[in-house]
Chain A
Amino acid sequence: MIFFSNSVIVFIFIEALLLLLLSIAFINVVGILKSWDFSATSTKQYLLEKRSYLVLLIIFFTLGFKIILLPYFIYMIDELNVLVPGAMCAAGVINSNIYGVYLLSLKVRILFLVGLWIILNHYDLQAKDYPFFKKKLWLFILIFFLIIAESILDIFYLINIVTDTPVSCCSAIYGVSGISNPIPFDLHVSELLGLFYLLYGLTLISALYRYALLSLFSNMAFLYSAYYSVVYFFGTYVYELPTHLCPFCMLQAEYFYSGYFIWGTLFLGTFFGISAALLQYITGKEIKKMYRYSLAFNSAFILFCSSYVLLYYIRNGVFL
C-alpha cells in the first residue's frame, strides 16, 4: 500500500537513479585511483584526467541531489502519516518499524559527509595541482558504501511500514512517561537549557577566534544538546502546548513548516563548525569562511528558537 503513494514512487525512482549513477562513478573511481599519477605525462594519465572530470561531475550532481533528497524524504514520511494508523506525524511513521530511526540517522550522517565532499572538491578544483584528489575519491568510496547501506535500509524500512496495525503517535514516543527522564544524564530541562546556551557560547568563541579543535567538539556537543532542547523545551513553544513533545510535528503546515528552518539551521551551523576543523586537518589550511557560516547558522538557530519563548512570554505574560 505504501508503494502506491506517489511520493514513495518518486523517492524510490530518484534513489535508484542516483544509485545507478553513483555505481558508474564508483567503478570509474576505482580505476582512476589504481592508475592515477599526476606527475606522469603519459597518454593514460591524460585520458584518466579527462575521465576524472566527467566522473567528478557525475558525483557532484548526484551528491548534490542527495542533499535535496533528505528534506524530501522527511516530507514524504510526514505525508505517509495518513496511511499509517495511529501516526499523527513523521514520528509515528519513522518509528513504525525498527529500521526507521537507523535510516534517518544514517541519512543525516551521509548528508554530512556529502557536504564535506562537496567543499573538499571545491577547494581541490580551485588548486591547479589537485592536491586533495585522492583524499576526495577515498571519501567518495566511503560515501558510496554508506549509500548502498542506506538504499538497503530504505527498502527494508518502506517494506516494513505497517498500514494495518496502529503505531504510537509522537506523544507516546517522546512524551513524559512519569517513570524515567528521557533527557540524557538525567538532566532537568532548566539544566539542559543552561548547557545548551553555554555550549552555544563555546561554538561562538571557537568561530570568532577560529579554534579548530574547540569548534569540532563544541559543535558536536551543541548539536546533541540542541536536539534535546528543541524536543523537550523549544518545541513546546512552537506548539504552544507543554505536553506536545515532538521533533517532527513542527515540519507540518500548521506550524508554518518552521521545523525545516530549525533543523536546517542547526544542521548547517554544526556542519560548518565541525567541517571547519576536519577540513583544516585534511587540507592543512584554515578556511575562514566555514567559521563564519557556522557562526551565522548557529546564531540564526538560537535566535529563532529563543524568539518563540520570548514572543510567547510577551503575548501571555507567563512561560509554559
Chain B
Amino acid sequence: MKKFLPYIFILLIMAGIITIFLSRASQQQMLTVHEGNTEYKPLPIKLGHYQDTQCGMPIEHLMNSAQAIAPNGKTWFFDDVGCLAIWMQDKEFKDKLIIWVYAKDTKTWIDAHKAWYSLTDKTPMHYGFSAHTNKKENYIDFVSMQLRMLRNENMSNPHFRRELLGEH
C-alpha cells in the first residue's frame, strides 16, 4: 500500500486540477473577440453571450450594436456605437478597420462609414448615437459622431444632454 501512496496522491491532485479546468469550461463564457473572420462580413451575435470590448457589458440587443474587423480577421463587438468610437481611437490599425453597425431604420448591418447617426436616441450606454441607413435632419456622419464621442459631446454628458434636448 505504501508503494502506491504517492501515485494515489498524484492521481488525486491531477483530478483536482482537471476538475478546476472542467468547472471553468462548463461555466458560461463571454465572447469578446472572434478570430478568423477573413470574409470581413458581420457575424451573427448570440445575445447575452457576446461582450462589449470597451465597456464590458454583455450585448443584449442587436439595435445600436457594432462590430469592428481588423485586417487579420479579428472581430470585436460593441453594444453601443459610442463604445466603438472610443475603442478604436488609439488602435494603430484604426484606418484599416472594417466596421459594421446595426441600422435602426432598416434593421440590417451596414457600413459604419456610410451610416447616419441620430443624436438623441436611447442607447445601452446612453451616448445617444444610433445608426441609420437613411439620412434625416440633424443626423451626422461617422467622423462627426466619433469626434463628438471623443470630445464627450453626447447624451451621457449632462451639459450637452440639456443642449441637445433643448432643455434650459
A interface residues (Cβ-Cβ under 8 A, vs B): 177-180, 185-187, 191, 194-195, 198-199, 201-202, 205, 208-209, 211, 214
Contact = CB atoms under 8 A, between A and B. Distances in A.
Contacts of B51: 179
Contacts of A195: 17, 20
19 contacts: A177-B56, A179-B32, A179-B53, A179-B54, A179-B55, A180-B32, A185-B21, A185-B24, A187-B24, A191-B20, A191-B24, A198-B17, A198-B20, A202-B10, A202-B13, A202-B14, A205-B10, A209-B6, A211-B6
Nearest to A221: B17
A123 to B, nearest CB: 27
Interface of B: 6, 9-10, 13-14, 16-17, 20-21, 23-24, 29, 32, 51, 53-56
Given A180-B56, A194-B20, A205-B9, 5 more contacts: A177-B56, A179-B56, A191-B24, A194-B16, A205-B6
A186 B23 CA distance: 12
**From B17, B24, B53, residue with most partner A Cβ within 10 Å:** B17
Contacts of B10: 202, 205, 214
Nearest to A200: B13
A228 B8 CA distance: 28
A199 B54 contact: no
A98 B160 CA distance: 39
A180 B23 CA distance: 19
Instruction: Rank and list the top 6 A-B pairs by shortest CB-CB distance, nearest first.
Output: A179-B56, A209-B6, A198-B16, A201-B13, A198-B13, A178-B56
Contact of B9 (A177, A194, A201): A201
Residue picked from B10, B23, B54, B56, most chain A C-beta under 10 Å:
B10
B2 to A, nearest CB: 11
A29 to B, nearest CB: 41
B5 to A, nearest CB: 9
A216 B51 CA distance: 38
Nearest to B15: A198
Contacts of A185: 21, 24
A186 B29 contact: yes
Contacts of B9: 201, 205
A172 to B, nearest CB: 14
A208 B53 CA distance: 47
Nearest to A191: B20
